[in-house]
């Protein structure tokens, strides 16, 4: 089946909000085996919305619309979609009761305003999808035989991500899955310390020869993820189809693969490696200002391996807290290989940790020179007395340079731990 996404809301067109729903739904549609060729955004305008929906239904089997299901006058998605399908609206008593119950539980003491009952109106013949996290129900509208859009389907989902995502996961995705003759199953092979272009070159022959299963690379900050996807009658058959390809990826990338589980992040893999080796870690950060330790602390159970973390932004802090010699700072500057090494060693000595990761650099946009340009970062890693320092020259803005530095820091720590 061919699917299409329509994101409704003038706030999306104006850039007031980031359209995270579209990225989420696009990935989920791919996993369901739906072919997605178009995505659209349209404002809260009846004429343009109708035109967008009609165009989508003319070329796609399933049109998924998010947003515009609220109680206000500019929430038009349901009304316009019903018009396109030639459906009248009626008050659904069950939905009205759920709205009343939601207000009593979540807004006790607040009177329900009249416009909230607008959300209880549903198109004739539509399947109502209950919303466990809000008042606007989802709707599935199918074109009747003999009509202009016979067999075509429109799926309406509330816009707030905390309503959209659970509704799609728990109710819409299973519904769409049943319409597919075969199930779509996938697994993820996550690779670090190898760039996107090199990683893709290493699997070019596999991608050229793919049919079922398929292989798709996704570039992340400091990482490349490979999704292996198979179409099969059941999960067991799909796993059998995917296993040879996954094994080949593991053979080609070796230790650069840090997980084959989609839910595992790089920082989780690093924390797990520290636990397996019964080691502790500390951080010494300058330009990243706590982002690195924050990534580690995001992992549940990180307290087992991280006891202290330091942000030593000034030279004085580097000397006082980490014991970086004044002579090194004076001779080489804060952003140097020598300072990064001293920071990494000093962090271990100050905390008694088995390992440390230290970052010093020029994030930008100011502070760079011809000798030390913006984006120059040195990362030092000390593991049980053995210290390595890597030099990087990032080319992003301040935010991206800091993100890249954190990713490279985690990768360097992981590599050092593997060889410890």
pLDDT at 281: 98
CA distance 246 to 226: 9
pLDDT digits (tens, 9 = 90+) for 321-377: 999 999 999 999 999 999 999 999 999 999 999 999 999 999 999 999 999 999 999
Spatial neighbors of 248 by CB under 8 A, at least 6 apart, are 206
Domain 183-259 has CATH 3.40.50.300: no
Q: In the structure encoding, which two tokens stand for residue 244, read together?
A: 């040879």
pLDDT digits (tens, 9 = 90+) for 115-124: 889 999 999 9
pLDDT digits (tens, 9 = 90+) for 373-390: 999 999 999 999 999 999
pLDDT at 233: 84
- On the question of pLDDT at 106 being above 80, the answer is no
pLDDT at 413: 98
pLDDT digits (tens, 9 = 90+) for 260-292: 999 999 999 999 999 999 999 999 999 999 999
CA-closest candidate to residue 409, choices 398, 394, 396: 394
Give Cα 220 distance to the centre of its chain: 10
63 backbone dihedrals φ, ψ, rounded to 5°: -115, 120
pLDDT digits (tens, 9 = 90+) for 185-194: 889 999 999 9
Class of domain 266-418: alpha beta
Collect contacts of 121-126 with beta carbons under 8 A, ≥24 apart: 121/78, 121/89, 121/90, 121/91, 121/92, 122/78, 122/89, 122/90, 122/92, 122/95, 123/78, 123/81, 123/82, 123/85, 123/87, 123/88, 123/89, 124/87, 124/88, 124/89, 124/90, 125/87, 126/87
pLDDT at 182: 77
CA distance 106 to 101: 9
pTM: predicted TM-score of the whole model, two decimal places: 0.78
What torsion do the CA atoms of 119, 120, 126, 132 make, to the nearest 10 degrees?
80
User: Are residues 285 and 358 in contact, defined by beta-carbon separation less than 8 angstroms?
Assistant: yes
Spatial neighbors of 54 by CB under 8 A, at least 6 apart, are 84
CA-closest candidate to residue 346, choices 336, 337, 357, 335: 357
CA-closest candidate to residue 256, choices 223, 281, 280, 285: 223
Give Cα 306 distance to the centre of its chain: 25
More confident: 108 or 387: 387
Using 50, 70 and 90 to split pLDDT, how confident is the model at 30? confident
**Which region, left, alpha or beta, applies to residue 260 given φ > 0 means left and ψ of -120 to 50 means alpha?**
alpha
pLDDT digits (tens, 9 = 90+) for 136-168: 999 999 999 999 999 999 999 999 999 999 999
- On the question of pLDDT at 108 being above 70, the answer is no
Q: In the structure encoding, which two tokens stand for residue 308, read together?
A: 């202290």
CA-closest candidate to residue 263, choices 164, 193, 188, 169: 188
pLDDT digits (tens, 9 = 90+) for 71-88: 999 999 999 999 999 999
pLDDT at 162: 96
CA distance 3 to 61: 6
DSSP type of residue 91: E
Percent of the chain whose predicted confidence (pLDDT) is above 90: 88
C-alpha distances in Å from residue 33, one per residue of 211, 221, 276:
14, 27, 38
CA distance 134 to 158: 9
Count of other CB atoms within 10 angstroms of residue 321? 17
Class of domain 2-179: alpha beta
pLDDT at 90: 96
User: Are residues 141 and 125 in contact, defined by beta-carbon separation less than 8 angstroms?
Assistant: yes
User: Are residues 151 and 60 in contact, defined by beta-carbon separation less than 8 angstroms?
Assistant: no
Residues in the chain: 420
User: Are residues 285 and 311 in contact, defined by beta-carbon separation less than 8 angstroms?
Assistant: yes
Domain map of the chain by residue range? 2-179, 183-259, 266-418
pLDDT at 107: 67
Q: 3-class SS at 259?
A: strand
pLDDT at 109: 63
pLDDT digits (tens, 9 = 90+) for 221-234: 999 999 999 988 88
CA distance 289 to 402: 9
Q: 3-class SS at 118?
A: helix
User: Are residues 324 and 318 in contact, defined by beta-carbon separation less than 8 angstroms?
Assistant: yes
- On the question of pLDDT at 235 being above 90, the answer is no
- On the question of pLDDT at 25 being above 80, the answer is yes
Query: For the chain, what is the mean pLDDT?
Result: 95
Sign of CA dihedral 196, 198, 199, 204: positive
Burial of 82 (0-12, 13-18, 19+ CB in 10 A): buried
């Amino acid at each position: 089946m061919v699917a299409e996404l329509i994101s409704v809301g003038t706030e999306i067109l104006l850039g007031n909000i980031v359209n995270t729903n579209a990225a989420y739904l696009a990935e989920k549609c791919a996993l369901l085996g739906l072919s997605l060729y178009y995505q659209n955004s349209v404002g809260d305008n009846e004429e343009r919305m109708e035109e967008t929906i009609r165009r989508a239904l003319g070329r796609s089997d399933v049109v998924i619309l998010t947003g515009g299901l609220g109680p206000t006058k500019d929430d038009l998605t349901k009304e316009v979609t019903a018009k396109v399908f030639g459906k009248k609206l009626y008050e659904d008593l069950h939905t009205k009761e759920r709205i009343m119950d939601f207000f009593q539980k979540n807004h006790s003491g607040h009177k329900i305003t009249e416009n909230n009952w607008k959300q209880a109106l549903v198109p004739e013949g539509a399947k109502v999808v209950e919303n466990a996290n809000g008042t606007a129900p989802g709707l599935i509208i199918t074109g009747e035989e003999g009509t202009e859009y016979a067999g075509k389907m429109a799926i309406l989902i509330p816009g707030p991500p905390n309503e959209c995502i659970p509704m799609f996961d728990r109710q819409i995705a299973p519904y769409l899955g049943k319409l597919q003759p075969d199930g779509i199953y996938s697994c993820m092979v996550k690779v670090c310390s190898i760039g996107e272009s090199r990683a893709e070159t290493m699997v070019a022959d596999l991608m050229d020869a793919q049919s079922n299963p398929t292989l798709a690379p996704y570039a992340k900050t400091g990482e490349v993820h490979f999704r292996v996807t198979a179409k099969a009658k059941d999960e067991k058959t799909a796993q059998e189809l995917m296993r040879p390809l996954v094994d080949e990826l593991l053979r080609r990338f070796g230790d650069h693969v840090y997980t084959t589980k989609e839910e595992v992040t790089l920082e989780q893999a690093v924390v797990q490696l520290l636990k397996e080796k019964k080691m502790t870690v500390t951080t010494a950060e300058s330009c990243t200002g706590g982002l690195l330790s924050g990534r580690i602390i995001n992992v549940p159970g990180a307290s087992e391996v991280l006891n202290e973390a330091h942000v030593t932004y000034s030279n004085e802090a580097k000397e006082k807290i980490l014991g970086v010699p004044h002579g090194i700072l004076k001779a080489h500057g804060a952003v140097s290989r020598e300072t990064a090494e001293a920071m990494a060693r000093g962090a271990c000595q100050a905390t008694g940790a088995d390992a440390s990761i230290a970052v010093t650099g020029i994030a930008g946009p100011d502070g760079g020179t011809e000798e030390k340009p913006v984006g120059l970062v040195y990362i030092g890693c000390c593991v049980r007395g053995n210290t390595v320092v890597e030099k990087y020259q990032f080319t992003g803005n301040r935010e991206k340079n800091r993100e890249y530095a954190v990713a490279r820091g985690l990768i360097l720590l992981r590599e050092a731990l593997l060889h410890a």
